[in-house]
A and B are shown apart, each in its own frame.
Chain A
């Protein structure tokens, strides 16, 4: 029995405590504004704590179940920021749909807690528990709009498929446990180094399948479009941003931290999934008329790109993947944020047609949206370009030339549907259904910042790139 060292887990403890406070405040005050403010303060406070306790190097706590390293700290900070922005964007949207309730904020906080646990997990058990905490909160968030049939259906699908994925993951973990005799990642990696067997590959297949489900990469991508489409836009906004960071973290923890000796096995699986995702994501997105659905397919493609970075299996590859996922969260927030911002009571600005001629009425919003779209497409000088570039560099550096070529081809195909949105906004006549942004000045400013961030990070990507590289180098042995 070792004495408890709570310091590394201080942010988690803080978020949990404050989430319970929000729950109580909601129960007694009946004023959701308080919950809103408190939630934002909690996230900011957690950010401050994480910043203050951040240090290079790995610190283990709770008997080796919890690990605090720089990669985790950076991902956590970005998660808080994404959650703050997502909650801020959705305020008006939620209050117009009778969802501006304490439960929403509590669930968001618990989802963030789940992500933090996943990001800092170094044990199969905590990995799984964090994943379940996140998933359970997300299922509920999707279903929160009770009177909407689509949302309920989406929640049901999400729940059933999510449970299935958890089952896969658990089954794989149980086989790995049987193989290695430990649930602790550091011990697992030592045991795997002893000798790789066919049973290990068998377990690995299930683990990778479970991860793929959670990441939403092909061929386990079927849930993504339905859930992105069916969920209330504010929830889609949240699901599409921060959880991706946690999903990246869990991939890194499991495959790189825990199963690195079996790299040859999982590289092949990731390669197949990445190619399939790029193909399915980009081709299917072209055919969508609904923006949320289109962005869902684009997510699949982007997650495929992310896998490319991971499977390059080098510091450059991992840090490229990390850079990719952080910038993707930023772009996703911008795109879905615009959908949420342009919606109003009784009207969802989610069809591509709704964006026709946006430039004529709201030129600045159109410009922000255009920046985000061009960045998603991967055009310079936006950040999406550098994200793709670093991944491709790492890939070529690791000798996966053919994969890089495929990735470039599908990115070019994918650029078509992003550019179509830009074309609709700038060159088409305005749609009869006029868009009326809810017009909160702070949200508008935040949205502008988001769009400009895409541009600025594209012009000056070096600091973030260096940070990712440093974080990966100190965190991955």
Chain B
């Protein structure tokens, strides 16, 4: 067995265990963290397949951003796991059936014989996956790429249009206005003629 195969099996085992933990962990935070581990191991597996751009992007996007926000939400929730667990055993047979079916389907498809796939030859060491992807995306696939970007823009507009609520009576300060304030707007210097304090004198006189 080659060294890479060994690494592959180790990573695969970790990936499977982590995925299992995602669905069996009692605590949702633990489940989310297992998902992080699963993503990371999947990234490592991709790295093994010489898909370094995808691997790094998986880590950067899913672990670095998506899962952080996910954890953010999960940590604030008070989820009753027992409540959610109810009905697990009743649904298990059906779920298992579906899972087995999917596995069989994938095995038939990914066997490769149907589509006449042959494993691609390994690329030379200086082959830059990232550069090739960039070239493809920005030349041959620029149109769908831009469209996907527009869809994301619409999603953003939609999310903001549907959730932004301007509450009346909200108090806030505009930092630009704050900075623009000049001394003369707030402070008035009044020049006064010097005066001798009168009251203490009166008190002294009284004492005397």
Contact present between A and B (CB < 8 A) = yes
Q: How far is the CA of A169 from the CA of B158 in the complex (A)?
A: 24
Stretch at the interface among B80-88, B148-156, B167-175: B148-156
The answer to the question of A353 belonging to the interface, with a C-beta cut-off of 8 Å to chain B, is: no
Q: How far is the CA of A110 from the CA of B151 in the complex (A)?
A: 9
Q: How far is the CA of A61 from the CA of B154 in the complex (A)?
A: 24
The answer to the question of A257 belonging to the interface, with a C-beta cut-off of 8 Å to chain B, is: no
- Taking a contact as CB atoms under 8 Å apart, the answer to whether A110 and B154 are in contact is yes
Interface of B is mostly: helix
- The distance from the CB of B107 to the nearest CB of chain A, in whole angstroms, is 15
- Chain B proximity mask over A156-186: 1 for CB below 8 Å, otherwise 0: 0000000000000000000000100000000
Residues of B74-118 contacting chain A, CB below 8 A: 109, 114-115
- Taking a contact as CB atoms under 8 Å apart, the answer to whether B158 and A125 are in contact is no
Stretch at the interface among A136-144, A306-314, A363-371: A136-144
- Taking a contact as CB atoms under 8 Å apart, the answer to whether B144 and A129 are in contact is yes
Stretch at the interface among A62-70, A71-79, A330-338, A388-396: A62-70
Residues of B131-175 contacting chain A, CB below 8 A: 135, 139-144, 147-148, 150-151, 153-155, 157-158, 160-162
- Taking a contact as CB atoms under 8 Å apart, the answer to whether A136 and B140 are in contact is no
A-side contacts of B143, CB under 8 Å: 9, 61-63, 65-66, 126
- Taking a contact as CB atoms under 8 Å apart, the answer to whether B147 and A136 are in contact is no
- Taking a contact as CB atoms under 8 Å apart, the answer to whether B158 and A139 are in contact is yes
- The distance from the CB of B133 to the nearest CB of chain A, in whole angstroms, is 14
- Taking a contact as CB atoms under 8 Å apart, the answer to whether B161 and A125 are in contact is no
Residues of B that sit less than 8 Å from A by CB? 109, 114-115, 135, 139-144, 147-148, 150-151, 153-155, 157-158, 160-162
The answer to the question of A252 belonging to the interface, with a C-beta cut-off of 8 Å to chain B, is: no
Interface of A is mostly: helix
- The distance from the CB of A121 to the nearest CB of chain B, in whole angstroms, is 10
- Taking a contact as CB atoms under 8 Å apart, the answer to whether B144 and A126 are in contact is yes
- The distance from the CB of A243 to the nearest CB of chain B, in whole angstroms, is 15
The answer to the question of A1 belonging to the interface, with a C-beta cut-off of 8 Å to chain B, is: yes
* Pick from A4, A107, A126, A143: contact of B157, CB under 8 Å: A107
- The distance from the CB of A108 to the nearest CB of chain B, in whole angstroms, is 11
- Taking a contact as CB atoms under 8 Å apart, the answer to whether A1 and B140 are in contact is yes
Residues of A419-465 contacting chain B, CB below 8 A: none
B-side contacts of A139, CB under 8 Å: 158
* Pick from A66, A107, A132: contact of B161, CB under 8 Å: A107
- The distance from the CB of A7 to the nearest CB of chain B, in whole angstroms, is 14
Interface size class of A (residues with CB under 8 A): 20 to 34
- Taking a contact as CB atoms under 8 Å apart, the answer to whether B148 and A140 are in contact is no
Take A62-B143, A65-B144, A129-B147 as given contacts and tell me if A146 and B162 are in contact as well, using a CB distance cutoff of 8 Å.
yes
- Chain B proximity mask over A16-57: 1 for CB below 8 Å, otherwise 0: 100010010000000000000000000000000000000000
* Pick from A4, A63, A65, A132: contact of B151, CB under 8 Å: A132
The answer to the question of A117 belonging to the interface, with a C-beta cut-off of 8 Å to chain B, is: yes
- Taking a contact as CB atoms under 8 Å apart, the answer to whether B148 and A136 are in contact is no
Take A107-B161, A136-B155 as given contacts and tell me if A130 and B147 are in contact as well, using a CB distance cutoff of 8 Å.
yes
Residues of A that sit less than 8 Å from B by CB? 1, 4, 9, 16, 20, 23, 61-63, 65-66, 101, 103, 106-107, 110, 113, 117, 123, 125-126, 129-130, 132-133, 136-137, 139-140, 143-144, 146, 178
* Pick from B139, B150, B162: contact of A140, CB under 8 Å: B162
B-side contacts of A23, CB under 8 Å: 157
- Taking a contact as CB atoms under 8 Å apart, the answer to whether A125 and B115 are in contact is no
- The distance from the CB of A23 to the nearest CB of chain B, in whole angstroms, is 7
Residue contacts A-B, CB under 8 angstroms, 28 given = A1-B140, A4-B142, A16-B150, A65-B143, A66-B143, A101-B161, A103-B157, A103-B161, A106-B157, A107-B154, A107-B157, A107-B158, A107-B161, A110-B154, A117-B147, A125-B144, A129-B147, A129-B148, A132-B151, A133-B147, A133-B151, A133-B154, A136-B155, A136-B158, A137-B154, A137-B158, A140-B161, A140-B162
Q: How far is the CA of A75 from the CA of B46 in the complex (A)?
A: 45
A-side contacts of B162, CB under 8 Å: 140, 143-144, 146
B-side contacts of A126, CB under 8 Å: 143-144, 147
Q: How far is the CA of A130 from the CA of B114 in the complex (A)?
A: 31
A-side contacts of B115, CB under 8 Å: 178
Q: How far is the CA of A126 from the CA of B155 in the complex (A)?
A: 18
- Taking a contact as CB atoms under 8 Å apart, the answer to whether B158 and A133 are in contact is no
> Which of B135, B155, B157, B162 has the most A CB atoms < 10 Å from its CB?
B157
- Taking a contact as CB atoms under 8 Å apart, the answer to whether B147 and A110 are in contact is no
B-side contacts of A1, CB under 8 Å: 135, 139-140
Q: How far is the CA of A313 from the CA of B153 in the complex (A)?
A: 39
Q: How far is the CA of A66 from the CA of B145 in the complex (A)?
A: 13
- Taking a contact as CB atoms under 8 Å apart, the answer to whether A133 and B144 are in contact is no
- Taking a contact as CB atoms under 8 Å apart, the answer to whether A110 and B139 are in contact is no
- Taking a contact as CB atoms under 8 Å apart, the answer to whether A63 and B154 are in contact is no
Q: How far is the CA of A144 from the CA of B154 in the complex (A)?
A: 13
- The distance from the CB of B178 to the nearest CB of chain A, in whole angstroms, is 21
- The distance from the CB of A178 to the nearest CB of chain B, in whole angstroms, is 7
- The distance from the CB of A159 to the nearest CB of chain B, in whole angstroms, is 10
Further pairs besides A65-B144, A107-B161, A133-B150: 6, Cβ < 8 Å:
A9-B143, A106-B157, A139-B158, A140-B154, A140-B161, A143-B162
- Nearest A residue to B155 by beta-carbon distance? A136
- The distance from the CB of A332 to the nearest CB of chain B, in whole angstroms, is 24
- Taking a contact as CB atoms under 8 Å apart, the answer to whether A110 and B150 are in contact is yes
- The distance from the CB of A145 to the nearest CB of chain B, in whole angstroms, is 10
A-side contacts of B144, CB under 8 Å: 65, 123, 125-126, 129
- Nearest A residue to B156 by beta-carbon distance? A23
